[in-house]
Amino acid sequence: MKPICIAAIAVAILSLLNTAHALPAAPRACPGVAAIQASHLWLERDRSHYTAFQDDQAYDTHDPYLWNFFIWDIDAKSIDEADPKANAAMAEMSLNEGPFKGGLTWVCTYNIGNGYTAKAYYPPL
């Protein structure tokens, strides 16, 4: 009797842990390009490159969670050099793919100028 009880408790704990890390329901759509372009970009140095980002944005999706948007690996020596590069890349942006599952989040990818990688994550990482 005890082994069955212990096994039942173990199964219950594992199912609770699995539920706690479950992916939320799929978002209705990816953030629209115009909504992303209308938001301010922040820049941060990341080793030898810069990352442009917008965190905790609702955009135009009306989803219960907020989105984070990133442009990775902007080749620049300073923020003054990275800022116009990020803004120029945003001007050429179009939706590539999404939303699709990416680990514990939903991901949207965007085609963007200058060959940079741009992604939106829901819920934020």
Q: What is the pLDDT of residues 30-48, one digit of tens each?
A: 999 999 999 989 999 988 8
> What pLDDT is stored for residue 17 in this prediction?
36
Residue 73 CB contacts under 8 Å (≥ 6 apart), including other chains: 46, 49, 51, 116, 117
List Cα–Cα distances, 111 to 75, 91, 120, in angstroms. Answer: 17, 11, 12
Q: What Rg do the C-alpha atoms of the chain give, in angstroms?
A: 19
Closest CA to 86 of 56, 57, 47, 45: 45
Residue 13, pLDDT above cutoff 90: no
CB-based contact 107:27 (threshold 8 Å):
no
- Domain borders along the chain are 24-122
Supply the pTM of this predicted model.
Answer: 0.78
Residue 81, pLDDT above cutoff 90: yes
Instruction: Check whether the bond before 99 is cis (ω within 30° of 0).
Output: yes
Kindly state the average pLDDT of the residues 118-125: 86
